[in-house]
């Protein structure tokens, strides 16, 4: 059975388990199916490797899906479907990993304590990030020689920029633009290679999943899977705190909001 057929079997299994029998966002179905070759290639020889998958499914990693077009509800549905499909392709129980994220108040308290113990160093990373014009997203998932800057992924010994799909704006997608190296990409964007390397090194040192520019904040993601996420928001001046229950960008819903300092918020989503 070829990769596309395997993908369709996995998707059908997920839909059957959901009880609907239909793809939940009809206009996204064709583009979603085209993600199969990438997912299957990434899984490769690592099928059944739970730790590899847990790392790669971190926010903005290769087994996480950005939906840049469509509603928050569509993004929520499609991101969860993608991580389930990717788990099936990698022969890992992604649903169990996602469910284990919200393991009670103790888990939330531990994640909060972990972030606060590194707060001054994280502030330094945010300052670096803000100063590095041209970088809107940096992420890493703890796999050697793998990381992401904006939509450029360094994975599988390749450096390729994901081009958002036409209908849903999927990243990753089935359309990639190759670069000889990260240095070539940074040069083309006018980004200092030295400053970027320093920032990436600090992000890795602090074990942060991602740092992201948002419309009114810098988002520091410590850990997550699918729409489950824990981190800090560095809000712009005079921006109100998000509210519990509100939808955030990318199909995430705030379930924990706690002010830490002026303009700094600890958050969790599901």
The count of other CB atoms within 10 Å of the CB of residue 72 is 17
Question: Which pairing describes strands 152-155 and 147-149: parallel, antiparallel, or unpaired?
Answer: antiparallel
Check residue 19 and give its pLDDT: 58
The pTM assigned to this predicted structure is 0.93
* Structural domain spans, the chain: 3-98, 105-161+182-269
Start-to-end CA span in the chain (Å) = 35
Reference 63, options 168, 145, 129, 143; nearest CA is 143
DSSP state of 240: P
Residue 236 burial (CB count, 10 A): 12
What is the pLDDT tens value at each position of the chain, 270 positions in all? 344 455 555 565 555 445 566 889 999 999 999 999 999 999 998 999 999 999 999 999 999 999 999 999 999 999 999 999 999 999 999 999 999 999 999 999 999 999 999 999 999 999 999 999 999 999 999 999 999 999 999 999 999 999 999 999 999 999 999 999 999 999 999 999 999 999 999 999 999 999 999 999 999 999 999 999 999 999 999 899 999 999 998 899 999 999 999 999 999 999
* Phi, psi for 186 (deg, rounded to 5): -60, -40
Give the helix/strand (H/E) hosting 7.
Answer: helix 3-18
φ and ψ of 268, to 5 deg: -140, 150
Distances (CA, A) of 45 to 26, 53, 90: 32, 12, 9
3-class DSSP string for 206-240: CCCCEEEECCCEEEEEEEEECCEEEEEEEECCCCC
Pair 119, 204: CB distance under 8 Å: no
- Cβ atoms of residues 235 and 221 within 8 Å: no
Token output for 55: 């790392």
Q: Using a pLDDT cut of 70, give the percent of the chain over it.
A: 92
């Amino acid at each position: 059975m070829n990769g596309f057929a395997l993908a369709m079997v996995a998707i059908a299994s997920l839909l059957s388990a959901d009880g609907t029998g239909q793809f939940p966002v009809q206009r996204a179905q064709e583009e979603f199916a085209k993600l199969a070759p990438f997912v299957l290639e990434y899984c490769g020889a690592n099928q059944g490797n739970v730790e590899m998958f847990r790392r790669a499914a971190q926010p903005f990693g290769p087994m996480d899906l950005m939906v840049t077009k469509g509603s928050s509800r569509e993004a929520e549905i499609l991101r969860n479907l993608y991580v389930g499909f990717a788990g099936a392709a990698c022969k890992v129980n992604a649903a169990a990993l996602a469910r284990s994220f919200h393991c009670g108040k103790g888990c939330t308290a531990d994640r909060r304590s972990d972030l606060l113990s590194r707060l001054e160093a994280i502030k330094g990373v945010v300052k670096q990030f803000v100063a590095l014009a041209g970088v809107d997203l940096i992420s890493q998932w703890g796999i050697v020689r793998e990381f992401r800057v904006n939509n450029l992924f360094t994975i599988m010994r390749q450096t390729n920029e994901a081009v958002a799909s036409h209908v849903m704006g999927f990243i990753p997608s089935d359309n990639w633009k190759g670069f000889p190296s990260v240095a070539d990409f940074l040069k083309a964007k006018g980004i200092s290679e030295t400053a970027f390397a320093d920032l990436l090194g600090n992000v890795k040192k602090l074990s942060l999943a991602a740092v992201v520019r948002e419309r009114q904040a810098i988002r520091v993601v410590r850990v997550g899977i699918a729409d489950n996420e824990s981190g800090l928001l560095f809000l712009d001046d005079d921006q109100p705190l998000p509210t519990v229950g509100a939808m955030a960008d990318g199909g995430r819903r705030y379930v924990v909001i706690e002010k830490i300092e002026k303009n700094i918020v600890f958050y969790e989503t599901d």
